[in-house]
Amino acid sequence: MKKMILFLSAVLLLASCQKTMAQPSPAISTKYSDTEIEKMIRLYHSKYAQDVAPSGELSARFVADFPNARDVEWEMAQNIYEVDFEIGHVDYEAYYDKEGNLLSYSFEIYESDLPAVVKNATIAKYPDYVFEDMTRIYKGTKILYKVEIEREKNVELLVLDNGTIIKEKND
């Protein structure tokens, strides 16, 4: 019995360590305001991004922020770098300025990882919808959740971590 309890404790500890490793928490730069970051990322998306190799300094900063990243792909537009990568089996996306300041990053999460206030706000507005895809977004000083739900139609929501729905898009 003691061996079984010890084994189960070890499995739970390993699972919590793997989850922590899969979701690092690098610091977002405080050089820019939330509004400036939003404008920079919007400008990036308004231009044609090209595949690039980052500078050694930017690459080193990225490795410090996301040491377990693999399958790394860089693009740049308007002096903003977007990097797509994986940690474990989780897809990530991050944005840096040309000086290596981390502006934003996001990663896929499970429905069970949504904060209750975010999930409850979504269900209150869209009862009987099924949760499809969820993403946690760290942008400036904000934590947001992109929640894609489905029923007769698909709806994409952007929800603050306090449950406030700030954007809705019907597909």
Query: pLDDT for 76-121, tens place per residue?
Result: 999 999 999 999 999 999 999 999 999 999 999 999 999 999 999 9
Percent of the chain having pLDDT more than 70?
A: 86
pTM of the model: 0.83
Do 122 and 149 form a contact (C-beta atoms < 8 A)?
Answer: yes
The answer on pLDDT for 23 being more than 80 is no
DSSP of 51-97, one letter per residue?
Answer: E----HHHHHHHHHH-TT-EEEEEEEETTEEEEEEEETTEEEEEEEE
The domain defined by 110-171 folds into Nuclear Transport Factor 2; Chain: A, (3.10.450)
d(CA 80, CA 83): 10
What's the gap between Cα 76 and its chain centre? 19
CATH number, domain 26-105: 3.10.450.360
Distance of CA 3 to the CA centre of its chain: 39
Q: How many CA atoms lie within 13 A of 81 on its CB side?
A: 21
Distance CA 111, CA 133 (A): 8
Average pLDDT for 26-32:
94
| pLDDT value, residue 7 | 40
Contact (CB, 8 A) for 51 and 57: no
Could you state, in order of their start, the residue ranges of all structural domains in the chain?
26-105, 110-171
The Cβ of residue 159 has, within 10 Å, a number of other Cβ atoms equal to 26
